[in-house]
Amino acid sequence: MKITKLVILFNYQKILLGLIVSALLFGLSFYINSGMFVLALRILGALIILNIMASLVASYILYDNSDLYELKSLKGTVDFGKTKSAILVHASFDPLSKRLEEKYPNLNLTVCDIYGNRHEHEKGIETSKQIFPPNPKEIKISPEKLPFEDKSQDVILALTSLHEILDHEQRVLFFKEAKRILKNDGVIIVSEQFRDTTNFVFFNIGAFHFLSQKQWKKAISSADLRIISNQKITPFANMLILK
């Protein structure tokens, strides 16, 4: 439940606003004589509450009850026990690097925080860092220039972070840089929520925070990379394996 609690913390203002609006709609329905309008107001109020509950349930399924940070689905694709060098890219939120370093002490892992991402100035970020302290070896990166040598990395992990690169051309530059530093037999792993029907149903306008599958494919192909696997982690997120 740790990450779901953080989701609530980051979105508490929206949640509170939704609850207030819903309460006002229910309250207003008692002062209206028209049965049709009473029903409409109560249905709308109920839908707002249901949407809040649905988004929290979806967040729990995605972040706390899935393979997103367990990486079990990578079995047969990546063996971190034999991997020499890897990069983990995040956006001011890192629940994974400590676990990887403890489980694979011989892994040369570099943790990278995308500089200038939207989470940097959110009020809940300090609480987030108390629960998941930043890796002491963490470095800040700009998407268009990764500070690594050509063909030096076996694995590049980017879990729910690259959507924070807001500009398409910047995303293309990131993938070009990722291709440059990746070894010939290396892989790039990208886990993201898509701007699709399922996420619209559960996250409403919050789905606009993400990119469509078409946008991801365009950025990846523009960097002359190819998707060798596209698998569902949960109904709300996909894991792309790139080479």
pLDDT in tens, 27-47: 988 888 777 888 999 999 999
In tens, the pLDDT along 1-30 reads: 678 888 887 788 889 999 999 999 999 888
In the structure encoding, which two tokens stand for residue 48, read together?
Answer: 């707002």
pLDDT bucket at 172, cuts 50 / 70 / 90: very high
Residue 138 pLDDT > 80: yes
In tens, the pLDDT along 187-238 reads: 999 999 999 999 999 998 889 989 999 999 999 999 999 999 999 999 999 9
- Is the distance from CB of 159 to CB of 96 less than 8 angstroms? yes
What is the average pLDDT score of the chain?
Answer: 90
Nearest 5 degrees, angle CA 37-CA 41-CA 44?
135
In the structure encoding, which two tokens stand for residue 37, read together?
Answer: 């309008």
φ, ψ of residue 143 to 5 degrees: the values are -55, -30
Q: What is the pLDDT of residue 1?
A: 65
Residue with tokens 């990119």: 211
The CA distances from residue 161 to 61, 63, 143, 154, 158, in Å, are 18, 13, 11, 19, 6
Portion of the chain with pLDDT greater than 90, in percent: 65
Strands 182-192 and 237-242 turn out to be antiparallel
Q: What is the pLDDT of residue 201?
A: 92
Q: What is the pLDDT of residue 215?
A: 97
Which range is least confidently modeled, 49-53, 119-123, 159-163?
119-123
User: 3-state secondary structure string, the chain?
Assistant: CHHHHHHHHHCHHHHHHHHHHHHHHHHHHCCCCCHHHHHHHHHHHHHHHHHHHHHHHHHHHHHHCCCCCCCHHHCCCCCCCCCCEEEEEECCCCCCHHHHHHHCCCCEEEEEEECCCHHHHCCCHHHHHHHCCCCCCCEEEECCECCCCCCCEEEEEEECCHHHCCCHHHHHHHHHHHHHHEEEEEEEEEEECECCHHHHHHHHHHHHHCECHHHHHHHHHHCCCCEEEEEEEECCEEEEEEC
Distance CA 121, CA 119 (A): 6
